[in-house]
Chain A
Amino acid sequence: MTKLIGQRAVASLLSLLVLMVLVFFLSRLTGDPAVLFLPIDATEEMKEQFRVLHGLDRPLLEQFNQYVLDLLQFDFGDSLRKARPALDLVLEAYAWTLPLALLTMTFVITAAIILGSLAAFKVGGFFDRLVSIVSLVGASAPDFWIAIVAIMVFSLSLGWLPTSGVGSVAHWILPMAVLFIRPFGLIVQVVRSSMLSAQSSAYVKTARAKGVKNLRLIFIHTLRNGMLPVITVIGDQAAAMLNGAVIVETIFGFPGVGKLMIDSILQRDFNVVLAAILVTAVAIFLMNILIDIAYGLLDPRIRQ
């Protein structure tokens, strides 16, 4: 198990390096930041001054070398727009994205496991059909549309919830609810089918022949086996959320990392883009290790 995680760590470090190189050069392809940052009537001289100030006049490879050296000291450079360390901006945004992602995923996982298991318990029953329809709609409805409709209904018509921004508990409800829908729809379906196949397995038959009670059959014998494929999907969905929910954060004006990233890209604020991508990659890498550990805990066959 430790060996497995070690191998994963090495592989992830390598992919982080590749990612770093790719992002550095690709972001430079988007164009010259000086054009966006300076007023339209800025002279060529002013632009040149701006480039020299930020080291953008130097050859690309030289910029890259400097960038790598700085990175080794955890220096991601300053944001062009805000004139503050890029890493600070990203970490501040994460302080918003992380709780949003963790809370939402907690709700998603809890609801999906309970509802999916119950739906699988009585296949074809009313409850099963209801869960199937809801999850299908949830998994296929586009989130920007849901977000806008939700704002129209709950904020504009009913006036119950704020349209955007942060500041109170009420501000969190709509972003979380919209973020909840798609992963829930996906995971509940995986839980249901995975529980179904676990239920018809031979070991459940053995447990019934031993006289094990029904609830124990579902939540002790079936669930742990049924969770194995579910964990993979959970990891996938959680990764997407750690990436920052770009659309949802933008629509609701939520100052998370997704919004920061899209703003920085539009403004060619290279240092912030790079910092955001690398921090996100590290977060996803850590989460994958958590997923691996969870797998090992659930299934003794993987531990060896």
Chain B
Amino acid sequence: MNDALLEVRNLSVDFHTARGTVHAVKQISWSVGRGETLAILGESGSGKSVSASAVMNLLDMPPAHIVEGEILFGGQDLLKVSYEEHRALNGKRIAMIFQDPLSHFNPVYSVGWQIIETMTAHGRPADQARARALELIARVGIPDPEAALHKYPHQFSGGQRQRLMIAMALMLKPDILIADEPTTALDVTIQAEVLALLKELQRETGMGLVLITHDLGVVAEIADRVVVMSKGEIVEQGTPREVYHAAKHPYTRQLIGAAHGKGEINILDIASPVLLEVKSLCKTYGAFTALNDVSLTLHRGQSLAVVGESGSGKSTLARAILRLEGVDSGQAVWKGRDLIGMTARDVLGMRREIQMVFQDPTQSLNPRMSVYQIISEGWDIHGLMPDRTARQAKVAELLEQVGLAPEHARRYPHQFSGGQRQRIAIARALALEPELIICDEAVSALDVSIQAQVIALLDGLRQRLGISFLFIAHDLGVVRDFADTVLVMKAGQIVESGPTGQIFSASQHPYTQKLLAANLDPDPDVQAQRRLRASDG
């Protein structure tokens, strides 16, 4: 493109680590023009953030080392300018926002102080900066800007924090805004709002937007052009439509194929016996209602999805069923016995039958225990499988069942990738031959293609072993390919429930419809139609 504002040419960056040199990006080139949105799409480890960090001079050197390339901006090569010249550009001409706005705000200074600093750091007078901050805080949709100025980051919600982060970045009307996974940590409805805000602000200011994401839906919604990265290289580029409909590279095709929401929908076998029946569970924390009259029925071999945004009570429900949390009233009948009134000894037996897989396998697996120890620990707790040889054989079998190799038993969690770790967590759950596995956001932290693999694994286990699943997720798209029944929760209540097909094609409740609409489709045409309909409506 000739009118490129920012252009990365043949950039190669290596990371020198203790285990050798990693070629983080290899000869990549991209550019972004005024008013244009470029998406850099890739999964974790693809190097999608490296070039943006190089643009902002945020790479720590060492271990990073720029091997070759140019970053052209305003007629100069950013890789050749001095530290001070680069600093003067950062925040003023090129700004950046990040994935997790809570950790990217300084916790000990007020939000106003930090937003104002963007201008004072570049020599603008404080009163001018204050006025601009108030204007922008109002513009990004935060109520009562004057009060917001004096509040601290932890006093805002995730979506508000990201809005404030955007305000902070736009203080000096930069030419380029780089957004690194800006909506990944947010609920789908909030994600839609933040993306819409970014687009509006771009129209108003004409800035170039570089959006780094792993989500095809985000690309379909917002990008003018997209570059697809894999293993440090750009494997595909073009408009989102070209890339989605006519992908040339196998990796892109695989990525598009892995996008959820396209497969066949599971159908519940009503004839199978009821395993768990939850009746009118209620739970309050002070004035906050976490569960409000929640009831559900789960059959053997069923995959029941509970969908809701943060704070909807879906995790409290899981914790209540496992008796990790008390409830105010209600019943949970597990194979004819009420879990809520069970004695502590019976609870232990029940916990063997109901296992849980958590969201973040990096945190839920003890880093000091080998895979063998992790998987066999449950047998110690429940006094099962005393024979060591039998245990070793069973661990090997379980590892194969989840798609890992028997020799992985001797390794430690840090030696695995995120997807593999989640497989270990699943093997651990399977070790106790449970009848129900509760998956609390079990695939949310994984890359899209890994998500698809893990879901396929779970579905296989369900069919082969007849295990039931209670699948908790904030993302409707993920559950479509796995669940046969969907419950939608909002503010502690089930607002809608029904067979998956019905929820997706003929939802009744406005909240479900809102969730569905906010759930971005990887197909740019579908997203374009939705936008058109939204603007008509």
Q: Could you tell me which A residues sit within 8 Å of B by CB distance?
A: 201-203, 205-213, 216, 221, 224-225, 298-301
CA distance A207 to B56 in the complex (A): 11
- Could you list 19 further interchain pairs (A-B, Cβ under 8 angstroms) beyond the known A202-B104, A210-B90, A212-B91? A202-B100, A203-B103, A205-B58, A206-B96, A206-B106, A207-B106, A208-B90, A209-B56, A209-B58, A209-B90, A209-B96, A210-B95, A210-B118, A216-B121, A221-B106, A225-B108, A299-B107, A299-B108, A300-B154
Measured CB to CB, the nearest residue on chain A to B90 is A211
Say which residue of B56, B88, B118, B168 sits within 8 Å of A208 (CB atoms). Answer: B56
The answer to the question of B105 belonging to the interface, with a C-beta cut-off of 8 Å to chain A, is yes
CA distance A224 to B108 in the complex (A): 7
Q: How far is the CB of B108 from chain A (nearest CB, A)?
A: 5
Within 171-185 of B, Cβ neighbours of A (below 8 Å) are at none
A202-B98, A213-B87, A213-B121 known; A208 vs B104 contact (CB < 8 Å): no
Contact B57 A208 (CB under 8 A): yes
List A contacts of B98 (CB < 8 A). 202, 205-206
The answer to the question of B122 belonging to the interface, with a C-beta cut-off of 8 Å to chain A, is yes
Contact B88 A301 (CB under 8 A): no
CA distance A301 to B168 in the complex (A): 21
List A contacts of B109 (CB < 8 A). 224
The answer to the question of B397 belonging to the interface, with a C-beta cut-off of 8 Å to chain A, is no
List A contacts of B105 (CB < 8 A). 203, 206
Task: Give chain B's interface secondary structure class.
Answer: loop
The answer to the question of B152 belonging to the interface, with a C-beta cut-off of 8 Å to chain A, is yes
Within 96-151 of B, Cβ neighbours of A (below 8 Å) are at 96, 98, 100, 103-110, 117-118, 121-122
CA distance A201 to B98 in the complex (A): 13
List A contacts of B117 (CB < 8 A). 207, 210, 212
Contact B104 A205 (CB under 8 A): yes
List A contacts of B87 (CB < 8 A). 208, 211-213
Contact A209 B91 (CB under 8 A): yes
Say which residue of A201, A211, A298 sits within 8 Å of B91 (CB atoms). Answer: A211
A300-B152, A301-B152, A301-B154 known; A210 vs B91 contact (CB < 8 Å): yes
Within 62-92 of B, Cβ neighbours of A (below 8 Å) are at 87-92
List A contacts of B56 (CB < 8 A). 208-209
CA distance A202 to B58 in the complex (A): 11
CA distance A221 to B89 in the complex (A): 20
CA distance A298 to B152 in the complex (A): 13
Measured CB to CB, the nearest residue on chain B to A204 is B106
List A contacts of B118 (CB < 8 A). 210-211
Measured CB to CB, the nearest residue on chain A to B84 is A213
CA distance A209 to B95 in the complex (A): 7
CA distance A239 to B284 in the complex (A): 43
List A contacts of B103 (CB < 8 A). 201-203
CA distance A216 to B92 in the complex (A): 17
Within 409-433 of B, Cβ neighbours of A (below 8 Å) are at none
List B contacts of A224 (CB < 8 A). 108-109
Query: Which residue, A201, A202, A299, has most C-beta atoms of chain B within 10 A?
Result: A202
Give 9 CB contacts A-B under 8 Å.
A206-B98, A206-B104, A207-B106, A208-B87, A209-B96, A210-B95, A211-B92, A212-B121, A301-B152
Query: Which residue, B91, B106, B110, B154, has most C-beta atoms of chain A within 10 A?
Result: B106
Q: How far is the CB of A122 from chain B (nearest CB, A)?
A: 13
Contact B121 A210 (CB under 8 A): yes
CA distance A203 to B114 in the complex (A): 10
Contact B121 A208 (CB under 8 A): no
List A contacts of B90 (CB < 8 A). 208-211
List B contacts of A209 (CB < 8 A). 56, 58, 90-91, 95-96
